[in-house]
């Protein structure tokens, strides 16, 4: 019986012992690796197939994203309506997403219906037909959506800042135009589908209340498919950053606010400064009580919110500060960002603030480990980025033990205005 008369003891998050629960791994008959985490109270599960079929591997713009989207739009046996009806009948969701290096097909369903859903999921991988009518509808919808988004300063800023950091011909810096959609051909999608899905490299992640025969079920559905696990093109791209560092773009003459991006290239998570920089970034502008949020939102009232993050890319990354502010205070907002950088370079972080950030970061991590779906998502991120659980524990150690002087040295190394691309779109 809970003691309702006395308040529970308050424990700082940094004093808690965190453990990343291990996964179980299997290999299907065709060499496909399966990473599974069995847990949770509800009779639900997730199966996610990860293909190395992102825009990193496309030869023509938006072929990868279009192929991924069209997977659910018809097979040799079922049209788009029949496919959607099948998954909805069992109360399941089948989603697909395309990223830079990878593309996914994700199934969420009740555990008891898995055997009815896996065969149709496999059918999508082997028998998709990319109907011309469905492709035309997709192209028309995407062009209309793009035309609307191009009127938004925030959308333009997101496109352009990546181009400045990586170069337009780099997969991380590339963006689409209406001409790209008009140039799409069904044959290009079929060729990409065959190479990177039907005969591509696949990794499977499963989590939730898994049935006892999860591996035989996965093997029956996917273990005989003609995946070529070692037949992955070794494609390399070198970033080609823009020469100019400052850009002012006029996008909407009648707009009342502007979009601001301040960014610089940064090494990927294998670099020893990556975890340390996440601590400094949280102090700078990573949570609601951060320096920039307190200054620009709470004190100055220039914006509803300002954010900064290290991009989660496999090959390289970037530190990006982003916000929207009133058109008349955009320049002042940018000046305050650089002002806060200078303070971090010149003054050590006080222990009270550092303790608050430590607890915030560890507390957020506790939430990220709540439930089987979150746990397998973290493992997926680590596996795809080529790191182990050692990275998890080293990151916790960094959060708990990094000193104010280390943070100041890090700020002096990475928070210099002359290193940043500055973009203002109004």
Contacts for 133-138: CB closer than 8 Å, 24+ residues apart: 134/70, 134/73, 134/74, 134/80, 135/66, 135/70, 135/73, 135/184, 135/186, 135/189, 138/66, 138/69, 138/70, 138/73
- Give the strand pairing for 103-110 and 44-51: antiparallel
- Coil, strand, or helix at residue 36? strand
Sort 152 into a burial class: Cβ within 10 Å, 0-12 / 13-18 / 19+.
middle
**Identical fold, 19-222 and 246-425:** yes
- Give the pLDDT confidence of 381-409 residue by residue, as tens digits: 999 999 999 999 999 999 999 999 999 99
> Considering only CA atoms, which of 124, 195, 207 is closest in space to residue 377?
207
Where exactly are the structural domains of the chain? Answer: 19-222, 246-425
How many Å apart are CA 210 and CA 199, to the nearest integer?
27
Neighbours of 73 (CB within 10 A): 21
- Give the pLDDT confidence of 103-149 residue by residue, as tens digits: 999 999 999 999 999 999 999 999 999 999 999 999 999 999 999 99
Confidence (pLDDT) at 395? 96
Confidence (pLDDT) at 231? 66
CATH match for 19-222 among 3.30.70.1140, 3.30.830.10, 3.40.710.10, 2.40.420.20: 3.30.830.10
Chain centre distance of CA 255:
30
How many Å apart are CA 331 and CA 9, to the nearest integer?
47
Assign 156 a pLDDT band (cuts: 50, 70, 90): very high
Residues 150-157: what's their mean pLDDT?
96
Is the predicted pLDDT of residue 229 greater than 80, yes or no?
no
- pTM here? 0.93
How many Å apart are CA 364 and CA 59, to the nearest integer?
39
Is the predicted pLDDT of residue 95 greater than 80, yes or no?
yes
Q: Where are the beta strands (DSSP E) in 176-329?
A: 202-208, 246-249, 257-266, 306-310, 317-326
Residues 246-272: what's their mean pLDDT?
95
CATH match for 246-425 among 3.40.50.300, 3.40.640.10, 3.30.830.10, 3.40.50.2300: 3.30.830.10
β partners of residue 321: 262, 308
* Contact of 165 with 174, CB cutoff 8 Å: no
> Considering only CA atoms, which of 338, 349, 352 is closest in space to residue 422?
338
How long a stretch of residues is the chain? 426
């Amino acid at each position: 019986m809970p003691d309702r008369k006395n308040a529970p003891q308050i424990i700082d998050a940094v004093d808690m012992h965190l453990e990343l629960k291990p996964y179980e791994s299997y290999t299907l008959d065709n060499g496909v690796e399966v990473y599974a985490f069995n847990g949770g109270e509800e009779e639900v599960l997730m199966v996610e197939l990860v293909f190395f079929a992102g825009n990193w591997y496309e030869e023509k713009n938006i072929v990868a994203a279009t192929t991924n989207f069209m997977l659910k739009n018809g097979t040799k046996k079922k049209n788009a309506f029949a496919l959607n009806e099948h998954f909805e009948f069992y109360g399941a969701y089948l989603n697909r997403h395309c990223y830079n290096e990878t593309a996914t097909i994700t199934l969420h369903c009740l555990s008891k219906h898995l055997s009815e859903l896996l065969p149709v999921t496999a059918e999508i991988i082997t028998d998709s037909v990319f109907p011309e009518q469905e492709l035309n509808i997709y192209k028309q919808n995407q062009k209309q959506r793009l035309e609307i988004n191009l009127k938004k300063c925030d959308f333009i800023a997101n496109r352009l800042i990546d181009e400045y950091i990586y170069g337009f011909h780099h997969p991380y810096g590339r963006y689409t135009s209406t001409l790209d959609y008009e140039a799409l051909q069904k044959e290009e999608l079929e060729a990409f589908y065959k190479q990177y899905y039907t005969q591509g490299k696949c990794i499977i992640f499963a989590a939730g209340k898994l049935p006892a025969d999860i591996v035989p079920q996965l093997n029956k559905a996917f273990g005989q498919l003609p995946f070529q696990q070692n037949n992955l093109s070794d494609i390399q791209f070198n970033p080609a950053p823009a020469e100019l560092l400052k850009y002012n773009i006029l996008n909407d003459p009648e707009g009342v606010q502007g979009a601001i991006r301040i960014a610089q290239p940064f090494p990927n998570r294998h670099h020893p400064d990556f975890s340390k920089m996440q601590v400094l970034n949280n102090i700078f502008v990573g949570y609601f009580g951060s320096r920039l949020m307190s200054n620009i939102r709470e004190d100055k009232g220039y914006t509803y919110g300002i954010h900064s993050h290290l991009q989660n890319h496999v090959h390289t990354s970037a530190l990006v500060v982003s916000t929207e502010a009133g058109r008349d205070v955009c320049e002042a907002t940018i000046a305050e960002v650089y002002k806060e950088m200078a303070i971090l370079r010149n003054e050590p972080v006080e222990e009270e603030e550092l303790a608050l950030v430590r607890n915030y970061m560890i507390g957020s991590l506790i939430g990220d480990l709540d439930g089987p779906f979150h746990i397998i998502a973290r493992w997926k991120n680590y596996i795809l980025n080529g790191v182990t659980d050692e990275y998890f524990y080293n990151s916790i150690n960094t959060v708990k033990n990094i000193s104010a002087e280390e943070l100041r040295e890090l700020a002096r190394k990475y928070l210099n205005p002359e290193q940043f691309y500055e973009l203002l779109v109004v």
